[in-house]
Chain A
Amino acid sequence: MWLYAARRIVLTIPILLGVTIICFALVQIAPGDPIQNLLSPTSSAADAARLRAAYGLDQPLPIQYFIWLGRVLVGNLGTSIANNMPVAGEVMHAFSNTVVIALISVALAFVLSMFFGVIAACRSGQLADKLITAVAVFGISVPPFWLAVTLVIVFAVNLSLLPATGMGANGSGNFSYFQWTSLKFAVMPITALALPPLGIMTRTTRSAIAEILNQDFIQTLRAKGLSEASVVVHAIRNIMPQAIAMLGLQLGYLIGGSVLVETVFTWPGTGYLLNKAVQTRDIPLLQGTILVLATAFVLINLFVDLMQSLIDPRIKRS
């Protein structure tokens, strides 16, 4: 087990290096010159060259990469071009805002999807199955940003129950997930984020459980006198490796891909930050954000792999 874990961890290092190369390259490939955006139309070519040198943009690309990588390794992601703030602080701040709603959404979606998926599989073809399937398909098909806007119209505008946008009066400074005055700002973003993964994971759980229930060993379990509930426990444990893989994937998507939902709710998370960085062509900020998100994705996958091998002894063999 430990050997497998160690090997798996070592293997992530080249992946992470690859991530940094792609992050670095993506920005180089992107069209547009950030220096031009900073200069006033009247400034001279010499001004441009001076600024270019100040940001290190006059060096050859490999040198730029290694300089950048060296800084990244000590936690320096550069300075934002737009507002001269350190990128690292800004990204980590946004990241923590996103991670919390993403974690809550995925945890919620995971628990509910397990519950509904198992019921649907055990009541296959019956009313409960059909209802759950209908809701799941709705969750998969509804675009999250549309859902977000609809939630705002219903709960913020018409019913005035929940605040429409933001993280509260003092922003994320003294936001607490344990106080309703703060938490109410997170309710709608979490709902909008949780619904699509809930739909997908419910469908996956349902089909995975149904598949396991058709396997031979389930009959052995029944033949040895286990109650239907205990049989289902065996089935749930058997789909866990698959369910955790799904969970990791969805968490990865939510951490990086919630641009639309965060923009609708002006939730100051990574999605919102990415949007801002792209629009202002703030390359260090964009690079830093993508790097942090990609690293998070790789680490989530590592975690998923380790969890899977912990549950399914057959995985370690390969």
Chain B
Amino acid sequence: MVSQMTSLSPSQAAPHPAPLVRVDDLRVRFVSRDATVRAVNGISFDLERGKVLCVIGESGSGKSVMMRSLLRLHPKKRTVIEGTMSVAEHDIGALSERAMTGLRGSLVSMVFQEPMTALDPLYRIGDQIVETVRRHEHVSRQAALARALELLQLVRVPSPERRLRAYPHELSGGLRQRIVIAMALACRPSLLLADEPTTALDASVQIQILVLLRKIQREMGMAMIFVTHDLGVAAQIADQVAVMYAGRIIEYGSAGDVLLAPQHPYTKAMLAATAKDQDRSLALEAIAGSPPDLRALPEGCNFAPRCKFAGPDCTVATPPPITDAGDHMARCIRVGIVAHKLTFSATTMPTI
């Protein structure tokens, strides 16, 4: 852990460190009698140890589905998962159910969006944390309880001894989210999946939780995939940013590249729609239209119907990923590489 803490300085000295998470062409669809919902349509990314990947996108863009797939939390009967996912050399798709439950909460753990309903209402906070610890580590109840106390201190819960004996309904939303985070950290995971952990909280509490997560993530040298639809949050916390639309990553790169020099029209439009640092006299620009119906995705670029720069050539085929030397990727036929940098140019648009 110490070595990982010092690795805050550029540790990419090793030529090709094996990434902690490797997702290759992940496809998820939910099959029911009436329709097939294609929630994730070919996602690939790598994540190194100790790094934070922020996944941004509208509701229904497949962010949460992708996260749950990494833990195999989808109902088995109705879900078809294709592609490969591996975490720390474990092939998630090939693991037995037993081995998978062994990884959940120890190697990979998850923090959910809604702290008010994420805890079992009938169990004391301490017991819920103890249960997690003892599920994965053969320690006495006393030792597990001591660990639970440490965890509450780690996530800055005031008067932790008393909170251990509290029931979830006796705590505020912010405190509950801290408890959920403490529980996720109970077995020192290598990868933390955070599914909009601050969305349901007050603005001031959001910042606290965010700062806390970032701090703990750095201290523990833990990798994190952080789903959000808040670009400000992404800028605060991300090393890498992936922008999702209709189940695909349509732009990917370092936080600086994606948030400061976005190339995909969707990312540009989304950044233009945020209120931060904008002239008050200017009207906020919303993205017209609504996300596509995942039951019947059209051919070609799925953002085309809402895109200002779309032409007939956009709906011919799904745009291939274009990646520059700095690993900045976008899926848009109007994006090319100019001087080793990804560059959007509307001029290639045919005149109609």
Question: Which chain A residues have a beta carbon within 8 Å of chain B's beta carbons?
Answer: 215-217, 219-227, 230, 234, 237-238, 311-314, 317
In the docked arrangement, what's the CA distance between A237 and B127, Å?
14
Query: In the complex the two chains form, is A238's CB within 8 Å of B135's CB?
Result: no
B132 and A224: CB pair below 8 A? yes
A237 and B183 in contact, given A217-B117, A314-B167 (Cβ under 8 angstroms): no
Indicate if B103 sits at the interface (CB-CB under 8 A).
yes
Q: List 22 A-B contacts (CB under 8 A).
A: A215-B117, A216-B117, A216-B118, A217-B118, A219-B118, A220-B180, A221-B120, A223-B105, A223-B112, A224-B109, A224-B135, A224-B184, A225-B101, A226-B101, A226-B131, A226-B135, A227-B98, A237-B122, A312-B121, A312-B122, A313-B121, A314-B169
Chain A residues whose CB sits within 8 angstroms of the CB of B25 once the complex forms: none
B106 at the interface (CB under 8 A from A): yes
Q: Are B120 and A238 in contact (CB under 8 A)?
A: yes
At the interface, yes or no: B102 with Cβ under 8 Å from chain A?
Answer: yes
**SS class of chain A's interface: helix, strand, loop or mixed?**
helix
Q: How far is B117's CA from A215's CA once the two chains are assembled, in angstroms?
A: 8
**Is B119 close to A, CB under 8 A?**
yes
Q: How far is the CA of A215 from the CA of B120 in the complex (A)?
A: 10
Contact B122 A225 (CB under 8 A): no
Instruction: Given the known inter-chain contacts A223-B104, A224-B105, A225-B135, please indicate yes or no for A217 contacting B73, CB distance below 8 A.
Output: no
Q: Which of B101, B106, B112, B117 contacts A227 (CB 8 A)?
A: B101
Decide: B120 and A234 in contact? CB cutoff 8 A. yes
Partner of B112, one of A219, A230, A314: A219
Asked if A224 and B121 make an inter-chain contact with CB atoms under 8 angstroms apart, the answer reads no
A216-B112, A216-B114, A313-B167 known; A222+B73 contact, CB < 8 A: yes
A-side contacts of B118, CB under 8 Å: 216-217, 219-220
Q: Is B136 an interface residue (CB 8 A)?
A: yes
Within B67-115, the residues touching A (CB, 8 Å) are 71, 73, 98, 101-106, 109-110, 112, 114
Q: What sequence of 0s and 1s flags, for each residue 116-154 of chain B, a beta carbon within 8 Å of any chain A beta carbon? A: 011111110000000110011000000000000000000
Please give the residue numbers on chain B whose beta carbons come within 8 Å of chain A beta carbons, in ascending order.
Answer: 71, 73, 98, 101-106, 109-110, 112, 114, 117-123, 131-132, 135-136, 167, 169, 180, 183-184, 186
Docked Cα-Cα span, A85 to B307, in Å, equals 93
> What 6 A-B pairs are tightest by C-beta distance, nearest first?
A225-B105, A224-B105, A216-B117, A225-B104, A223-B110, A224-B132
Question: Which chain B positions have C-beta within 8 A of A221?
Answer: 120
| Interface contact B105-A313, CB-CB below 8 Å | no
Of chain B, the residue at the smallest CB distance from A219 is B73
Chain B residues whose CB sits within 8 angstroms of the CB of A312 once the complex forms: 121-122
Identity of the chain A residue whose Cβ is nearest the Cβ of B120 in the assembled complex: A217
Kindly state the separation between the CA atoms of A220 and B115 in the bound complex, as whole angstroms: 10
A residues less than 8 Å from B121 (CB atoms): 217, 238, 312-314
Shortest distance from the beta carbon of B26 to any chain A beta carbon, whole Å: 18
Residues of chain A within 8 A (CB-CB) of B73 are 219, 222-223
**In the complex, how many angstroms separate the beta carbon of A141 from the nearest chain B beta carbon?**
29
- Tell me the complex Cα distance, A219–B180, Å: 12
Determine the residue in chain B with the shortest Cβ distance to A317.
B169
Residue of A nearest to B132 (CB): A224
Q: Are B135 and A220 in contact (CB under 8 A)?
A: no
Q: A219 — which chain B residues lie within 8 A by C-beta?
A: 73, 112, 118
B64 CB → nearest A CB, Å: 11
Q: How far is the CA of A49 from the CA of B112 in the complex (A)?
A: 80
Chain A residues with CB under 8 A of B71:
222-223
**A219 CA to B106 CA in the complex, in Å?**
15
With the chains together, A224 CA to B111 CA distance in Å? Answer: 10
Give Cα distance in the complex from A217 to B345, angstroms: 47
B122 touches A238 (CB 8 A): yes
Residue of A nearest to B121 (CB): A314
- Listed residue (A215, A224, A313) with the most chain B CB atoms within 10 angstroms of its CB: A224
Q: How distant is A234 from chain B, measured CB to nearest CB, in Å?
A: 6
User: Bound state CA distance, A144 and B102, in angstroms?
Assistant: 49
Determine the chain B residues whose CB is within 8 A of the CB of A224 once the complex forms: 104-105, 109, 131-132, 135, 183-184, 186
Distance between B159 CB and nearest chain A CB, rounded to angstroms: 19
Please pick, from A217, A227, A314, A317, the residue contacting B119 in the complex, using a CB distance under 8 A. Answer: A217
Chain A nearest Cβ from B150, distance in angstroms: 17
A222 and B71 alpha carbons, distance in the complex (Å): 9
Which chain A positions have C-beta within 8 A of B180?
A: 220
Q: Find A222's partner among B104, B106, B122, B167 (CB 8 Å cutoff).
A: B104
Could you tell me the distance between the alpha carbons of A184 and B26 in the complex, rounded to whole angstroms? Answer: 64
Shortest C-beta distance, A227 to chain B (Å), equals 6
Closest A residue to B71 by beta carbon equals A223
Assess whether A220 is in contact with B122, with CB atoms less than 8 Å apart.
no
What is the minimal beta-carbon distance from B197 to any residue of chain A, in angstroms?
12
- Say which residue of A216, A220, A225 sits within 8 Å of B102 (CB atoms): A225
A70 to chain B, nearest CB (A): 45
B151 CB, min distance to chain A CBs, angstroms: 13
* Least CB distance, B41 to chain A, in whole angstroms: 24
Minimal Cβ-Cβ distance residue in B for A226? B135
**A224-B104, A225-B101, A225-B102 in contact; A313/B114 too (CB < 8 A)?**
no
